[in-house]
A = this chain, B = another copy of it.
Amino acid sequence: MRETPECVELFGRLLTREIPYDEAEARTAMIAAARETRWRRNQPCDAVVARSSVACVVAGAVRKFALRPSGRRQIVDLIVPGDFLGFGRPDPAFLLEAVSNDTRVACFTRDRIERLTARFPPVSTLMQSCAADAIRRLEHHLLVQSRITAREKVRAYLAEMTRRMKPGRAETVTLPITRYDIADHLGIAVETVSRAMTVLRRRGSIALRTPRDIEIRDPSMLAEGR
């Protein structure tokens, strides 16, 4: 995989997450061990990812979803740059698709990970940490999915995306997915997502530069409680 500035930055973030060791060398090794693939919008990426043991999204986003017999789609996980996928057991019930054009994923085969671990033992800890993050993502999403009102869900989704998309500034978010995707992710209707956005906008909590570029005017809106 090529050492583009963005992947250097990304793997730097991964490595410094909790492991104190020679960052530059390990980062170079990880980038070298990764095999990059890229997809266009809505293109399935099951095949490539399934062959690898784990993969890290570098750019764009990937959605993991199931199709119900009714034709409904349920997005169970949304993987944005810096997140890993592939810790679960391969399951044909779930499909993977690129969300946007130029979605890039760095795949690691099992033995590449093992060789990396041999040279840099903390990589094993790093992998465990990424698996733990995947679990946390699911548990948190489970909290959002259930029990709260549709407006709460949308608010929680905005809060989550604000946190995950731009580690630096929190005042604006560019949503990686469409309203339809948000609806399928939160388990509500598109119209309801739209209405919730409108309510937040009218209250002055957010402003929409475009439907996808959202300015957080009142960060306290992201807090819990109705």
- A66 in the interface (beta carbon within 8 A): yes
Interface hits, A35-59 → B, CB 8 Å: none
Is there contact, CB below 8 Å, between A88 and B224?
A: no
- A77 in the interface (beta carbon within 8 A): yes
Q: Could you tell me which A residues sit within 8 Å of B by CB distance?
A: 64, 66, 68-70, 72, 74, 76-77, 87-89, 91, 94, 129, 131-136, 138-139, 141-143, 145-148, 186-187, 224-226
Could you list 10 A-B pairs, sorted by A, with CB under 8 Å? A66-B143, A68-B224, A70-B148, A70-B225, A74-B142, A74-B143, A76-B139, A87-B132, A88-B135, A138-B138
Residues of B within 8 A of A186 (CB): 146
Residues of B within 8 A of A131 (CB): 87, 131, 135
The complex is assembled from copies of this chain, and their number is 2
Q: In the complex, which residue of chain B has the Cβ closest to the Cβ of A127?
A: B128
Is there contact, CB below 8 Å, between A138 and B133?
A: no
Is there contact, CB below 8 Å, between B72 and A143?
A: no
Q: A77-B139, A135-B135, A145-B146 are in contact. List 11 more A-B contacts (CB 8 A).
A: A64-B139, A68-B148, A72-B148, A74-B147, A87-B131, A131-B135, A134-B135, A135-B138, A138-B138, A142-B142, A145-B187
Contact A226 B70, CB 8 Å, known A89-B136, A138-B138: yes
